Amino acid sequence: MKWKVSCIQMDVAFGELEPNYVKAEALLRASGSVPSGKPSSPHGKAEEDLPSVLVLPELWTTGYALSALPALADAEGKRTLLFLSSLAESLGTGIVGGSYARRTKEGIRNTMPFLDEEGRLLGEYDKLHLFGPMQEPLHLRAGDQLGVVRLHDVLVAGVICYDIRFPEWIRMQALAHARVVFVAAEWPESRLSHWRTLLMARAIENQVFVVACNRVGSDPNHRFAGHSMIIDPWGQVLAEGGEDEEIVSAVLDFDEIDAARARIPSLQDRRPQLYRL
């Protein structure tokens, strides 16, 4: 089985909803014409016939305008989910909706939605690890669910930005048989080397594909790194963005997961009975 995946590496207007919805729609609609970084086999399906998934960055509706989220957050995600559902159905593609600020009865959550090609909501993931240095715990409520769903008949998982610094969490997703880990981020330019190293490590140690969509541009406090990455189970970078808005695409060949695990059976050789403090 193969998929085409595309990361929508976009700038985000700080605290302004309307420009972000307009830009996201334009980039999502444009993504279908972008060739991947890795061609499909000449003996397999044409690239345009492969199941496809489009991925947005973290907090693409608002940016990191955390203090303004009480006014900006989407009540139970009604607007954002309708927007993404309509686009998924129109484009005939799965969408991993990056993340957006979702107002719930318990508080505001940083939420990643998963939608199939018919626009159906498959599940959601709320950011588990909140980043203290950016005051996320003051404004957001942390999630507590694993974030594994079935998309295009494949189990996949999602994490958001700071979550990639917690290998034990992504290992849990891999042990739940996720074969792709989607990452949505607003990762700063100052820690670009960490971004690249952590993403490649998460792919190698779990022998999964990592599809990581980061934003570009800046807000009043930060400049963001871009460099969205699509990484195979060997840690090889199939496609990587630069520092400007662009669509970063590649083809995932799921046979590569089985090949990597057959050659180096590290998941099989785990000794969890000893992994206790």
74 vs 262: CA distance, rounded Å: 45
55 vs 249: CA distance, rounded Å: 10
Mutual orientation of helices 17-30 and 78-91 as an angle, nearest 10°? 20
- C-alpha dihedral, 121 to 188 to 18 to 142, nearest 10°: 40
- Is residue 45 part of the annotated active site? The answer reads no
Residue 234 corresponds to which tokens in the numbers above? 């060997």
Residue 259 corresponds to which tokens in the numbers above? 């090949």
Instruction: Single out the catalytic residue among 127, 136, 186, 213.
Output: 127
Instruction: Single out the catalytic residue among 58, 124, 186, 240.
Output: 58
Q: What is the DSSP letter of 199?
A: H
- Is residue 7 part of the annotated active site? The answer reads no
DSSP H stretches of helix in the chain: 17-30, 69-72, 78-91, 136-139, 167-175, 192-206, 255-263
94 vs 45: CA distance, rounded Å: 18
If we measure between CA atoms, which residue out of 67, 153, 150, 141 comes closest to residue 110? 141
- Is residue 127 part of the annotated active site? The answer reads yes
Instruction: Single out the catalytic residue among 38, 161, 186, 213.
Output: 161
Residue 276 corresponds to which tokens in the numbers above? 């206790």
Residues acting as catalytic residues: 58, 127, 161
